[in-house]
Amino acid sequence: MELLILIFLPLVGAIITAMMAKQNTAKLGALAFSLFSLGTTIGLLLRFTPDASTQFAVNYPWIQQLGINFHVGLDGISMVTVILTNVLMPLIILASFKHEYKNANAFYALILFMQSGLLLVFTALDGFLFYIGWEAALIPVYFICAMWGGKDRIKVNMKFFVYTIAGSLFMLLGIIYLYLQNPANNFDINAFYALNLDSYQQGWVFWAFFIAFAIKMPIFPFHTWQPDTYTEAPAAGTMLLSGIMLKMGIYGVIRWLLPIVPQGVHDWTMLAMVLSVIGIVYTSIIAFTQRNAKRLVAYSSIAHVGLIAAGIFTLSTQGLQGVMVQMLSHGINVVGLFFVLDIIFSRLQTNKIEELGGLAKVAPQLAITFLIIVLGTVALPGTNGFIGEFLLLFSVYSYNAWLGLIAGLTIIFGAVYMLRMYQKVMLGTTNDLTIGFTDIKGTEKVVLYTICVLIVVMGVYPKPVLHLSEAAVQHLLEQVNQKLTGLN
């Protein structure tokens, strides 16, 4: 019952918020519902046992003729993604408070609607229900970007929509195929896990799912929609896409791809890892050339996700544990980065790096918080980015030394372009544009201080996150290995 409340509370909030005519009322209503969701998550977390079992499960018949059930539950893997969603959502909503949006009630209602869809994706144990959540999370962010984005939002958003819908259709075909192969005639995830597909069947099901997940993350060469969309989307839309929505693809690979078609994963692992590593280097090099700070962070995000994807396909405990930590760390850090850039843009109407400079002199609090976020992003020891990147690089290197060495370039490249951006934006002398810049205040302080605390706490003491997911990760890998052994 508690899990149903967790999933549907944001949806109820979306309906109520949509009826709030005044902008301030809609803002406060959305924030209140996001905080209620966070409180519900904390309640579930306090009662959660970090073992391999599925907890708080709910399984109701929905469309019985097709074997579709409303089947949801939580284990250590899905709990991490639920925490990520419900911790970041209040921060993203609070970060938008300084903006005045036309039809604010619709704007905040769409955010809450998306939250409900995301939670459904991360808890679904029925294939059809997973697909419904997948689409339910996509539709709101499409309208957020289309209605409140930049001047090129229509063209850019259409590309984003075409990419994601195409990927969704591939995944739907894969889900339907698995349903047709299932003697029980249902979409239950455990029934899908139990299927004995041959190598050929697993190969094409792998690609049906992988394309959808690769587009959502995104990894090379399915990434081309991302930089333009992140740049043109409103700040809240960019934070939703980068902080939470791309984790849908990562989660999908872990929850649905690895255990269902392990032979397909095994056969195509090297290609998937090579694409991931190419993406790391390729997007890092492009990041060096960016003059717009928002586009630089967008390309940086692709590079980080490439390392996460490579870690998944090592099929190792260290790799998947690194993924768990890095999903949280990346979400926190990238939301912080885009919020800082939104603060700068809202005051100066530019994110062009060469037009900025000297902001640390006039905004020391912004400079300090920005530095902490940048250091977390470049994985400085003692910050949240370090432990995840260490585990991921260790796992990739253990799998293949050459891939590990190339993937390790992300540390060097990331440090160079992120610190160089910080130097040009924050240090040096002020100019005619930046001399009147004002320091952070009010809700800006709340969001940035909270993010900085999370970066330091997770960096100093990552054990709770690792402990939360460890048993579930090991159980999943045991399932994969047992199935591979049985096939061979």
Q: What is the pLDDT of residue 486?
A: 63
| Tally of structural domains, the chain | 2
Residue 1 has pLDDT above 80, yes or no: no
- Taking only the tens place, the pLDDT of each residue in 248-305 is 999 999 999 999 999 988 889 899 999 999 988 888 888 888 888 888 988 888 888 8
Pairwise pLDDT comparison (222 vs 44), residue with the higher score: 44
Phi-psi category of residue 472: left, alpha or beta, with phi > 0 → left and psi -120 to 50 → alpha: alpha
- Shared-domain flag, residues 16 and 108: yes
Q: What is the pLDDT of residue 2?
A: 84
- Taking only the tens place, the pLDDT of each residue in 428-471 is 888 888 888 888 898 999 999 999 999 999 999 999 989 999 99
Q: Which stretches of 28-115 are assigned E, i.e. beta strand?
A: 55-63, 68-74
Cis peptide bond prior to 218, omega within 30° of 0: yes
- Mean per-residue pLDDT for 55-63? 89
Q: Which of 144, 21, 152 has the alpha carbon at shortest distance from 92?
A: 144
Neighbours of 430 (CB within 10 A): 16
- Shared-domain flag, residues 324 and 450: yes
Residue 24 has pLDDT above 90, yes or no: no
Domain residues for 146?
Answer: 1-260
Structure tokens at 379: 């994985």
- Taking only the tens place, the pLDDT of each residue in 410-438 is 788 888 899 999 999 988 888 888 888 88
Q: What is the pLDDT of residue 101?
A: 82
Q: What is the pLDDT of residue 98?
A: 84
- Shared-domain flag, residues 33 and 153: yes
Residue 483 has pLDDT above 80, yes or no: no
The pLDDT confidence band at residue 138, using thresholds 50, 70 and 90, is confident
Structure tokens at 301: 């995000």
Whether pTM exceeds 0.75: yes
Which residue type, as a one-letter code, is found at position 341? Answer: L
Structure tokens at 378: 């470049």
The pLDDT confidence band at residue 225, using thresholds 50, 70 and 90, is confident
- Shared-domain flag, residues 63 and 159: yes
Q: Is residue 162 part of a domain?
A: yes
Q: What is the pLDDT of residue 104?
A: 84
Please give the Cα distance from 203 to 312 (Å, whole number): 18
Mean pLDDT of the chain: 89
- Shared-domain flag, residues 115 and 255: yes
What is the percent of the chain with per-residue pLDDT over 90, rounded to a whole number?
A: 48
End residue of a domain, out of 226, 260, 294: 260
End residue of a domain, out of 260, 288, 310: 260
Sign of the torsion angle spanned by Cα atoms 73, 78, 81, 86: positive
- Mean per-residue pLDDT for 29-51? 92
The answer to whether 284 and 298 are in contact (CB under 8 A) is no
- Taking only the tens place, the pLDDT of each residue in 62-98 is 888 888 899 999 999 999 999 999 999 999 999 988 8
Please give the Cα distance from 324 to 393 (Å, whole number): 14
- Shared-domain flag, residues 322 and 468: yes
Q: What is the pLDDT of residue 7?
A: 93
Residue 488 has pLDDT above 60, yes or no: no
Q: Is residue 206 part of a domain?
A: yes
Radius of gyration of the chain (CA): 21
Q: Is residue 151 part of a domain?
A: yes
Strand partners, 16: none
End residue of a domain, out of 206, 228, 260: 260
- Shared-domain flag, residues 309 and 363: yes
Please give the Cα distance from 91 to 463 (Å, whole number): 24
- Shared-domain flag, residues 40 and 187: yes
Q: Is residue 265 part of a domain?
A: no
Sign of the torsion angle spanned by Cα atoms 321, 327, 328, 332: positive
127-148 vs 153-181: helix crossing angle, rounded to 10: 180
The answer to whether 462 and 389 are in contact (CB under 8 A) is no
Which residue type, as a one-letter code, is found at position 154? Answer: I
Which residue type, as a one-letter code, is found at position 293? Answer: A
* End-to-end Cα, the chain, rounded Å: 42
